């Protein structure tokens, strides 16, 4: 490089990346050579990686002292810089109280977790005004969370019925939440033992979760793996989810969600809903769940709605799902109820265009359970290549039940085992009232 070129380069850096060249006591900076990039100016030269290690911000890293303020300070620094990386180094543990890491940031931020973030384990050390979540990303765009480390919610006390009753708290925290955010990548990390939901996205779009591990004991209550609400354009892939509740839960306002190559179980399977609680409106569409394994779970793939809701669930595909020792592999339940008794209400969310394709393996209670609303039948429900055999390990004392389809219309084709699946659906039609109701649902959604 000619000397004058070098000067030009430095000049451009100063001109276009004023933040990165301000000397920082915290940031270790690696400016890329601008040799190749001198004429692409801002975009390339600002991609220099600037690492903000939480240790440089004075974190104690002993897993006992509260490092929350240090985390927030490191976040703010990384957020201000184009291409900043917030680093949680390996072989260290950081105790973090509930924090909000807020955007928008200058540009793409990387949150590199190689060590462990620990939540407070005693319920009493959570402030009562902040029980919704532990680590809350809010209004962030273009962020990547990655690394070989872990986010550990230490939720044991929240799961114990006596302790959480003593605290008399209805709300339990989600471990990692993204709120009103976009273009988010979460990969490689482990999220475990959340008090409740592990990873939640709400009011967001553009989400990719890959190669993530989510772990909680099979008997921990309400510990959903990944929870989506009012979120669209989502891909969840190559991940392993073992929890006490739904591996993935898709709530109202979600569309264009693609889930594949997931290993799920123990837990309650992959589900859409419960939708329409307290007569609310719910809309879910364009969901694909495919090429996944579900084992030792209560349910496999499921749609659940409460009585009395309004709205529409449509264009849902469950394809190439291998189940093993699953009580109810294929479920639509429009009588969802979390108590022992809920009375039947008039009105229901409509369900249409649902494909169950290549669902194979073993079940331990009932191969298919489609309990559609009395008022609005489920229509265009397709069953193809369903091959489910009794598991060698049925629930103790339980008897196998025949396939059940109530008020469900559609087509079956391909191989169907057990044979009761074959006559389960009513042939397409569904009566004249359906179109009218569907029009209403379409208008709502």
Ligand X SMILES: *[C@@H]1O[C@H](CO)[C@@H](O)[C@H](O)[C@H]1NC(C)=O
For 3, counting Cβ atoms within 10 Å of its Cβ (0-12 exposed, 13-18 middle, 19+ buried), the class is exposed
Catalytic position from the list 67, 152, 202, 245: 245
Give the residue with the Cβ less far from ligand X, 324 or 383: 383
CB 392 to ligand X: min, Å = 32
**Tokens standing for residue 158:** 């929240």
DSSP E strands: which ranges in 280-421?
Answer: 281-295, 299-306, 310-326, 328-336, 350-363, 368-371, 378-390, 404-406, 408-417
Give the residue with the Cβ less far from ligand X, 157 or 353: 353
Give the residue with the Cβ less far from ligand X, 105 or 310: 105
Active site (annotated) includes residue 245: yes
CB 118 to ligand X: min, Å = 18
Give the residue with the Cβ less far from ligand X, 132 or 335: 335
CB 105 to ligand X: min, Å = 8
* Cβ–Cβ under 8 Å, residues 93 and 118: yes
CB 65 to ligand X: min, Å = 26
Catalytic position from the list 38, 92, 198, 268: 268
Rg for the chain (alpha carbons), in Å? 25
For 397, counting Cβ atoms within 10 Å of its Cβ (0-12 exposed, 13-18 middle, 19+ buried), the class is exposed
Name every residue whose Cβ is closer than 8 Å to that of residue 96 and which is 6 or more positions away in sequence. Answer: 66, 67, 68, 71, 117, 118, 119, 134, 135
Of 333, 396, 385, the C-alpha closest to 361 is 385
Active site (annotated) includes residue 268: yes
Give the residue with the Cβ less far from ligand X, 141 or 222: 141
Residues that bind ligand X (CB under 6 A): 107, 141-142, 148, 183, 188, 211, 256, 286, 288, 315, 343-344, 353, 355, 374, 380, 382, 411
CB 417 to ligand X: min, Å = 19
Give the residue with the Cβ less far from ligand X, 154 or 307: 307
CB 319 to ligand X: min, Å = 10
Of 213, 195, 250, the C-alpha closest to 228 is 250
- Alpha carbon distance 416, 383 (integer Å): 8
Of 28, 140, 135, the C-alpha closest to 87 is 28
* Cβ–Cβ under 8 Å, residues 232 and 220: no
Q: Work out whether strand 368-371 and strand 378-390 pair parallel, antiparallel, or are unpaired.
A: unpaired
Q: Which residues are catalytic?
A: 245, 268
């Amino acid at each position: 490089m000619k000397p004058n070129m070098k000067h030009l380069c430095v000049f451009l850096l100063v001109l276009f990346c004023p933040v990165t060249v301000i000397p920082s006591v915290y940031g270790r900076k690696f400016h890329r050579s601008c040799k190749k990039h001198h004429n692409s100016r801002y975009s390339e030269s600002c991609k220099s990686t600037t690492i903000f290690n939480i240790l440089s911000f004075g974190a104690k890293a002993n897993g006992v002292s509260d490092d929350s303020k240090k985390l927030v300070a490191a976040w703010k620094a990384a957020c201000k810089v184009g291409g900043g990386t917030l680093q949680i180094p390996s072989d260290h543990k950081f105790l973090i109280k509930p924090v909000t890491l807020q955007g928008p940031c200058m540009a793409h931020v990387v949150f590199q977790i190689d060590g462990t973030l620990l939540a407070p384990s005693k319920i009493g050390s959570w402030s009562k005004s902040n029980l919704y979540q532990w680590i809350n990303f809010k209004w962030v765009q273009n962020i990547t969370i990655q690394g070989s480390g872990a986010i550990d919610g230490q939720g044991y006390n929240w799961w114990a019925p006596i302790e959480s009753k003593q605290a008399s708290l209805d709300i339990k925290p989600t471990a990692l939440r993204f709120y009103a955010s976009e273009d988010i990548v979460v990969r490689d990390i482990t999220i475990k033992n959340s008090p409740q939901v592990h990873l939640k996205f709400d009011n967001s779009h553009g989400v990719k979760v890959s190669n993530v591990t989510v772990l909680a004991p099979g008997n921990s209550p309400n510990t959903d793996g990944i929870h989506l609400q009012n979120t669209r354009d989502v891909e969840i892939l190559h991940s392993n989810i073992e929890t006490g509740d739904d591996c993935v839960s898709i709530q109202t306002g979600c569309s264009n969600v693609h889930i594949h190559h997931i290993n799920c179980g123990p837990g309650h399977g992959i589900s859409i809903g419960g939708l329409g609680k307290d007569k609310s409106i719910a809309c879910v569409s364009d969901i694909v769940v495919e090429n996944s394994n579900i084992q030792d779970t209560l349910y496999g793939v499921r749609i659940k709605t409460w009585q009395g809701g309004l709205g529409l669930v449509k264009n849902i595909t469950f394809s190439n799902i291998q189940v093993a020792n699953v009580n109810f592999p294929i479920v639509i339940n429009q009588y969802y109820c979390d108590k022992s008794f809920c009375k039947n209400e008039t009105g229901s969310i409509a369900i249409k265009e649902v494909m169950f394709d290549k669902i194979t393996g073993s079940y331990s209670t009932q191969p298919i359970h489609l309990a559609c609303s009395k008022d609005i039948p489920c229509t265009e429900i397709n069953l193809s290549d369903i091959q489910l055999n009794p598991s060698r390990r049925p629930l103790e004392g339980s008897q196998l039940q025949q396939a059940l389809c109530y008020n469900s219309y559609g087509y079956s084709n391909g191989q169907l085992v057990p044979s009761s699946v074959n006559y389960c659906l009513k042939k397409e039609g569904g009566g004249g009232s359906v179109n009218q109701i569907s029009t209403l649902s379409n208008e709502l959604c």
